[in-house]
Amino acid sequence: MSDKQKNKRIPKLRFPEFKDSGEWVENNISQLGETINGLSGKKGDDFGSGSPYVQYKQVFDKNYIDFSHCGKVIIGKNEKQNKLQKGDILFTTSSETPNEVGFASVIISQPNEPTYLNSFCFILRPNSLDNLEPNFSRYLFHSKIYRKKVNAIAQGAIRYNLSKKAFLQITLPIPNPKEQQKIASFLSNLDELIEAHKQKLELLKRHKKGLMQNLFPQEGEKVPKLRFPEFKDSGEWVEKKLGELLKSFKLGGNYSNSEKRTSKPLMKMGNIGRGNFILNKILYIEETEIADEGDIMKAGDLFLNTRNTLDLVGKVAIWREELPLAYYNSNLMRLNFDNNYFMNYWFNFDKGIKELKKYATGTTSVAAIYTKDLLKLKLFVPNEQEQQKIASCLSSISEIITAEAEMIEQLERHKKGLMQGLFPQLSAL
């Protein structure tokens, strides 16, 4: 982009047919339409039956409203409440963070019946849907330029609120209707692709969960419902104490740690999920502190979260060498079996989770699973060959799930980059 373009309301990316269409036109939000309130004067007893209304979470979850998730509210025969219509843009007015204030979701099709809006949101009803296309609004009010401007006017300390007066004075650049339609069509097609992959991911997860329920014996049973043909005559699974199956176990060390990046990442209880590690927040052992080489995590190691809240204690996950080097702390225990992958799946199906929870002691906020109790845990296991077959089957599905999740991440990053390019940036205005 040239210096001249930087000072104009022109996006970095533009479809060829609009490259000579000039600048987008600056508009105050007040010029685009009028604000209308959501439900008023309702009491708790009014909710649960009646007419559909859009709930706060629906506005926050998607950039368009899915009417299948509406709540129900009783509206009296002579009661005056504002009904939603196609093109309405719904905004959240209050939140715990400024980034969640002024979140928008659009009514992209006319409701089939009278539908209302919760009282914690408000409506911007466009003066003309020809000048502000509903599908374009989905992206305009999630663009970087809009988010920066609405964040700047969010007011509060503990909870942030949106002043309608300040909101209506926000200025936004808008292209002509044909360019709006082109941008909306392009981005909505990408959204549909992302949604299709998300649905596929959920189906894969449900398929894996169903398999796990059938590949392991249920309560009171000694054989699973589903068995590979070569093992159908192998007899019952054998009951063992965990202490009999464990080859070794070790708690990690007590390390001081901080967010300051060093060469020694440290895995803690917050990094362990159900079956996998979560790396969205990593703390580090200080560079000057000596770390035990025995606490270095190796690919295929199985870890148990021995201390956490009562809801979260007892999570088990395989380390798949997500980082080239990492250590684990004293709230995690390294467990080694003949087949760690099989045991990872055992600990992460419903019965396995339930059995492990029995050994958690403590309060809702602080609970622990002690080694002496853990070693007493009883479970049914098959022979080594059947363990390997089950682990291989579930690992294959897990790999497909991981690949699908990565594809969704790539598509969402691609969409984010396109959004930044298809709308003028704040620095250009």
Q: Are residues 296 and 362 in the same domain?
A: yes
The Cα–Cα gap between 98 and 121 comes to 15
Q: Are residues 29 and 124 in the same domain?
A: yes
Contact status, residue 260 vs residue 284, Cβ threshold 8 Å: yes
The CA–CA distances, whole Å, from 413 to 63, 135, 141, 170 equal 17, 20, 18, 27
Q: Are residues 46 and 168 in the same domain?
A: yes
The pLDDT of residue 427 is 56
DSSP 283-311: EEE-TTSPPPGGGB--TT-EEEE-EE-TT
Sheet holding 316-318, edge to edge: 248-251, 332-336, 302-305, 316-318
Handedness of CA 175, 177, 178, 180 (dihedral sign): positive
The Cα–Cα gap between 133 and 130 comes to 6
Is 9 inside a domain boundary? no
| CB atoms inside a 10 Å sphere around CB 31 | 14
Last residue of a domain, one of 363, 381, 399: 381
The CA–CA distances, whole Å, from 95 to 156, 163, 169, 259, 310 equal 10, 13, 20, 27, 28
Provide the domain limits for residue 52. Answer: 25-174
The pLDDT of residue 429 is 46
Is 224 inside a domain boundary? yes
Is 317 inside a domain boundary? yes
- Angle, CA of 402, 407 and 409, to the nearest 5°: 95
Q: Is 348 helix (H, G, I), strand (E, B) or coil?
A: coil
Enter the tokens of residue 175. 């292209």
Q: Are residues 146 and 38 in the same domain?
A: yes
Enter the tokens of residue 365. 């906020």
The pLDDT of residue 95 is 84
Contact status, residue 391 vs residue 399, Cβ threshold 8 Å: no
The Cα–Cα gap between 68 and 295 comes to 50
CA 310 to chain centre: 23
Q: Which helix (H) or strand (E) holds 264?
A: none
Rg (CA), the chain: 28
Report pTM: 0.83
The pLDDT of residue 426 is 66
pLDDT 10s per residue in the chain (429 long)?
Answer: 444 444 478 999 999 999 999 999 999 999 999 999 999 999 999 999 999 999 999 999 999 999 999 999 999 988 999 999 999 999 999 888 888 889 999 999 999 999 999 999 999 999 999 999 999 999 999 999 999 999 999 888 778 888 899 999 999 999 999 999 999 999 999 999 999 999 999 999 999 999 999 999 988 899 999 999 999 999 999 999 999 999 999 999 999 999 999 999 999 999 999 999 999 999 999 999 999 999 999 999 999 999 999 889 999 999 999 999 999 999 999 999 999 999 999 999 999 999 999 999 998 889 999 999 999 999 999 999 999 999 999 999 999 999 999 999 999 999 999 999 999 986 544
Residue 191 maps to which CATH number?
Answer: 1.10.287.1120
The Cα–Cα gap between 350 and 337 comes to 20
The pLDDT of residue 156 is 81
| Sequence-ordered list of residues with C-beta below 8 angstroms from that of 8, at least 6 positions apart, any chain | 23, 424, 428
Q: Are residues 376 and 389 in the same domain?
A: no
| Count of structural domains, the chain | 3
Q: Is 9 helix (H, G, I), strand (E, B) or coil?
A: coil
State how beta strands 302-305 and 360-362 pair. Answer: unpaired
Q: What's the half-sphere exposure (Cβ side, CA atoms, 13 Å) at 139?
A: 29
Last residue of a domain, one of 174, 207, 224: 174
The pLDDT of residue 97 is 82
Residues constituting the chain: 429
Q: Are residues 159 and 230 in the same domain?
A: no
- Angle, CA of 27, 30 and 36, to the nearest 5°: 140
Q: Are residues 134 and 261 in the same domain?
A: no
| CB atoms inside a 10 Å sphere around CB 335 | 22
The pLDDT of residue 288 is 92
| CB atoms inside a 10 Å sphere around CB 146 | 19
The pLDDT of residue 5 is 47
Q: Are residues 170 and 181 in the same domain?
A: no
State how beta strands 47-54 and 116-117 pair. Answer: parallel
Residue 124 maps to which CATH number?
Answer: 3.90.220.20
Terminal-to-terminal C-alpha distance of the chain: 14
Q: Are residues 269 and 149 in the same domain?
A: no
Q: Are residues 29 and 170 in the same domain?
A: yes
Q: What are phi and psi of 83, to 5 degrees?
A: -90, 145
The pLDDT of residue 1 is 45
Last residue of a domain, one of 381, 399, 419: 381
Handedness of CA 298, 304, 306, 312 (dihedral sign): positive
Is 169 inside a domain boundary? yes
Q: Are residues 195 and 216 in the same domain?
A: yes
The Cα–Cα gap between 266 and 264 comes to 6
Is 426 inside a domain boundary? yes
- pLDDT digits 0-9 by tens, 230-273: 999 999 999 999 999 999 999 999 999 999 999 999 999 999 99
Is 106 inside a domain boundary? yes
Region for 220 from its dihedrals, namely left if φ exceeds 0, alpha if ψ lies in -120 to 50, beta otherwise: left
Contact status, residue 104 vs residue 141, Cβ threshold 8 Å: yes
- Look at the block and give the residue holding tokens 């009999």: 244
Q: Are residues 93 and 153 in the same domain?
A: yes
- pLDDT digits 0-9 by tens, 28-71: 999 999 999 999 999 999 999 999 999 999 999 999 999 999 99
The candidate with the shortest Cα–Cα distance to 135, out of 95, 70, 87, 199, is 87
Is 17 inside a domain boundary? no
Is 6 inside a domain boundary? no
